[in-house]
Structure 1
Amino acid sequence: MNIDDGEMAAGVTLRPLGAGDAQALALAYAANREHLAPWEPVRPDSFFTPDGQRERIEGLLEQRAEGSAVPWVFEEADGRIVGTITLTGISRGPFCSAYLGYWVAADREGRGLASAAVARVCGLARDTVGLHRIEASTLVENTGSQRVLAKCGFELIGTAPEYLHINGRWRDSRLFQRILHDGDPAL
């Protein structure tokens, strides 16, 4: 799958996650550990290390090779990773859908980076990956992500009680979807 690089906003490039990103990604997660904690599962300390990220990246790259995930990073010109965005659970056939997840570094929030990335990934999901639909979820109180999704054409489709185990407990989530096209599914 050819997913090209491209500048999104304010000197930040969206590019495919690579095998050599473990050190930079570990630094990014460590720097944003407290910022991300309310929105993510409890992570073991090893997650924030280069070895932990290397293992995680290997798994994501295997999923990419199998066609079930497409992971990207947001990278500044100096090589600093300031976020990620990933399509996971890619399903073909009559469903032709995927789940979207993303995060942006605390010091890069509020600058349109998440909106630019979500918009670009929606275009790539439609034109390159061949998806019909993308689903995303946010915790009920995550109004910032809900605004990003609405701005990018996602519609609220419901609330799921105790949907994800986040920050140490089962949490309710709002579910969103964006229909990318109404053509026949790719075989």
Structure 2
Amino acid sequence: MESEEIMAGVVLRLARTEDAEALCAAFVENRKHLEPWEPHRPESYFTVPVQARRLADQLRHHAEGRVAPWLLEADGRIVGGLTLNGIALGPFCSAYLGYWLAADQQGRGLATAAVHAVCRAARDGLGLHRIEAATLPENTASQRVLSKCDFTLIGRAPRYLHINGAWRDHHTFQRVLHDDAPAR
């Protein structure tokens, strides 16, 4: 999937190198909103050159089939992102999903629509069998999104990720996309 309108005026599309400035602006605008759910970010993270390097790395990994980075765009601005990381084919056919949504876009069903679209792309375009996602236990909004998108809780991972300055437990979820044999 290159791009898809998932709601009126909201497009989910693959990231591009020229998105660095708009992506940087989105991260600066949503810094406090995202801070509780993300790793500690140095000041340099909130600069265009660092975002340009991040995008270049993601797109290189995308060309290698290891990452699929999408952005949500509404009214000409970036309002969220979804990434499939650690894409593995063969007998595993799996990936890890991460996503974020701008503070002013919460509560519209946008994250749910975007996760559904990424799941379709993972199944139909990438041939993945399953997707895994993890949330902090107190991130009930993200857990609701995953539940609405047919993810099931598979466990609790102690000290799973270093988030906001500490190793934090996470709930882990998965969605099985199909049970066909691996295509490749």
Q: Provide the rounded CA distance (Å) in 2 between the counterparts of 1:10 and 1:149.
A: 22
Large movers: runs of 4+ above 4 Å: none
Once superposed, what is the RMSD of the aligned Cα atoms?
0.7
Tell me the residue number matched to 2:38: 40
Q: List per-residue Cα deviations over 1:155-181 (Å, max 9, x = no partner).
A: 000000110000000000000000000
The within-5 A match list for 1:1-187 is 3-77=1-75, 79-187=76-184
The question of whether the paired residues in 2 share the 8 Å contact of 1:154 and 1:178 is answered with yes
Give the Å deviation of 1:66.
Answer: 0.6
Q: Distance in 1 between matches of 2:161 and 2:2?
A: 32
State the Cα distance separating 1:4 from its structure 2 match.
Answer: 2.5
The answer as to whether partners of 1:9 and 1:112 remain within 8 angstroms in 2 is no
Give, in angstroms, the shift of residue 186 of structure 1.
1.7
Q: Give the whole-Å Cα distance in 2 for the aligned partners of 1:116 and 1:109.
A: 12
Unaligned runs of 5+ in 1: none
Counting aligned pairs with the same residue, the percent is 60
Q: In structure 2, what residue type is equivalent to 1:34?
A: K
Task: Please list every run of 5 or more consecutive structure 2 residues that lacks an aligned counterpart in the other structure.
Answer: none
Residue-by-residue CA offset, 1:117-170 (whole Å, 9 max, x unaligned): 000000010000110000000001100000000000000000001100000000
Equivalent-residue separation in structure 2 for 1:107 and 1:41 (angstroms): 21
Between the aligned partners of 1:9 and 1:101, the Cα distance in structure 2 is: 20
The residue type equivalent to 1:113 in the other structure is L
Separation in 2, partners of 1:115, 1:43: 26
2 CA distance for matches of 1:4 and 1:88? 17
Structure 1 Cα separation of the partners of residues 183 and 165 of structure 2: 39
Letter aligned with residue 182 of structure 1 = D
Letter in 1 for 2:117: R
Q: Using the alignment, how far apart are the partners of 2:183 and 2:42 within structure 1?
A: 39
SS at match of 2:150: coil
Q: Deviations over 1:92-113 (max 9, x none)?
A: 1111100000000000000001
